[in-house]
A and B are shown apart, each in its own frame.
Chain A
Amino acid sequence: MLPTPSTSHVCFDRVYEPAEDSYLLLDTISAPSETAFLHDRFPKASTTPLVLEVGVGSGVILAFVAANANTIFGRDDVLTLGTDINSFACQAASQTVQHAIANPNHSIFLDVINGDLASSLRLDSVDVFIFNPPYVPAELPNFSHHDDYNALPPGKQSTTFEQDSYLLELSYAGGEDGMAVTDRMLDQIPFILHESRGVAYLLLCAQNKPEEVKQRIRAWGPGWEAETVGSSGKKAGWEKLQIVRIWKP
């Protein structure tokens, strides 16, 4: 078992607390079958891979990948970059990653960007993409206050209760079938992933209709594959949560 990065400095009133979904991603990416795949895909002497995690939250996943680059990729020249729509998560995650890789650095951490999904990334630039989305079927929060809620209220040192509720809603509410945010992300993935090396890891829950999602991905065009490579909470033949790997073999 690889160590889980510390998130003890993070305030979970407004940033998603690592949970079963976060740990399933950690376990899947560091499982022998997945590390073998990644070692193979990113051989040591090839150009430095860029890992992008969208929706970093506390930063636990990105920090885990950064701190364990050597086990996961077999190399420590791995770049990590994150985004989150919640600015408090951006700050928290940045600290989590820096703390996890410090002294001496185990890989190269770039930044966490406050943005919507991967909309600021250049085409073809991402080698490994990771997303634990807001996947719960629940009404999307009202974005019209986002700018106000995304920063401390003017002159204040702390957030308001409404603000915290909004920020936490952002972390789990996924609209119809829990797919509203994930569907928008899926639209971007084929463009931001590196044409030949790119691989994406996406978490889905049972209500997201994962089999249909995988079929849709395979229909992106020739070569695209989508397979379940990790799962948890198996009940009567179907999994509560699963990790889908998206790639071109």
Chain B
Amino acid sequence: MKLLTLNFLTCAIKTCKSSPLSFPLHPREVELEILETDYNAVFLRNILPRLEWEALRVLAGELGLPSLPESSPDVSSLSTSSEEDDSETPTQVAQDLHRLLLETCIKEGKLVCGCCGHEYAVKEGVANFLLPGHLV
């Protein structure tokens, strides 16, 4: 499961949704894996405004990944353009972000709600958000 997916998920329990504590879900006892994928410059530029930067910083911290800058990078810091051939090269910032959002995956572990404490299992990269009958 990609870390970017966590940008869109919250606790499945209805009463948690209105609580700011239910986002982001907190990864616990996780095994990470890197699954490489194509770099997409346009995507990185257009996803920036959708990222919950503070939540991403929390995630990176909890996963023991290199810490992120305090505020979301500027679009202009994602690439350097060469005058000669009009080509654009991704900066280190952009490559790091690509690796964090799309290539860093949770293979096994749990996602825990900060509001109710419910634990959602991740197995073989698939997160299970099904609730036992009495919680639906």
Q: How does the 8 Å CB contact mask read for B1-18 relative to A, with 1 for contact and 0 for none? A: 110110011111010010
A198 to B114 CA separation, bound complex (whole angstroms): 28
Instruction: Report chain A residues within 8 Å CB of B136.
Output: 116
Q: Is the CB of A105 within 8 A of B23?
A: no
B129 nearest CB across to chain A (Å): 3
Q: Is the CB of A105 within 8 A of B12?
A: no
Q: Is the CB of A94 within 8 A of B126?
A: yes
B133 nearest CB across to chain A (Å): 7
Q: Is the CB of B130 within 8 A of A105?
A: no
Residues facing B in A50-80 (CB within 8 A) are 50, 75-77, 79
Q: A121-B8, A122-B23 are in contact. Are A104 and B127 (CB under 8 A)?
A: no
Q: Is the CB of A47 within 8 A of B127?
A: no
Instruction: Report chain A residues within 8 Å CB of B37.
Output: 105
Instruction: Report chain B residues within 8 Å CB of A203.
Output: none
Q: Is the CB of B128 within 8 A of A121?
A: no
Q: How does the 8 Å CB contact mask read for A191-217 relative to B, with 1 for contact and 0 for none? A: 000000000000000000000000000
Q: Is the CB of A108 within 8 A of B40?
A: yes
Q: Is the CB of A111 within 8 A of B1?
A: yes
Q: Is the CB of A120 within 8 A of B9?
A: yes
Instruction: Report chain B residues within 8 Å CB of A147.
Output: 130, 132
Contact for A114 among B2, B17, B49, B127, CB less than 8 A: B127
A129 to B21 CA separation, bound complex (whole angstroms): 26
Q: Does A125 contact B (CB under 8 A)?
A: yes
Contact for A120 among B38, B124, B129, CB less than 8 A: B129
Q: A77-B40, A105-B38, A120-B10 are in contact. Are A48 and B130 (CB under 8 A)?
A: no
Residues facing A in B1-53 (CB within 8 A) are 1-2, 4-5, 8-12, 14, 17, 23, 37-38, 40, 42-43, 46-47, 49-50
A13 to B125 CA separation, bound complex (whole angstroms): 23
Contact for B42 among A77, A83, A114, A144, CB less than 8 A: A77
Q: Is the CB of B43 within 8 A of A123?
A: no
Q: Is the CB of B129 within 8 A of A87?
A: no
Residues facing A in B110-136 (CB within 8 A) are 120, 124-133, 136
A50 to B125 CA separation, bound complex (whole angstroms): 20
Contact for A87 among B14, B17, B128, CB less than 8 A: B128
Instruction: Report chain B residues within 8 Å CB of A114.
Output: 126-130
Q: Is the CB of B43 within 8 A of A111?
A: no
Instruction: Report chain A residues within 8 Å CB of B11.
Output: 120
Q: Does A1 contact B (CB under 8 A)?
A: no
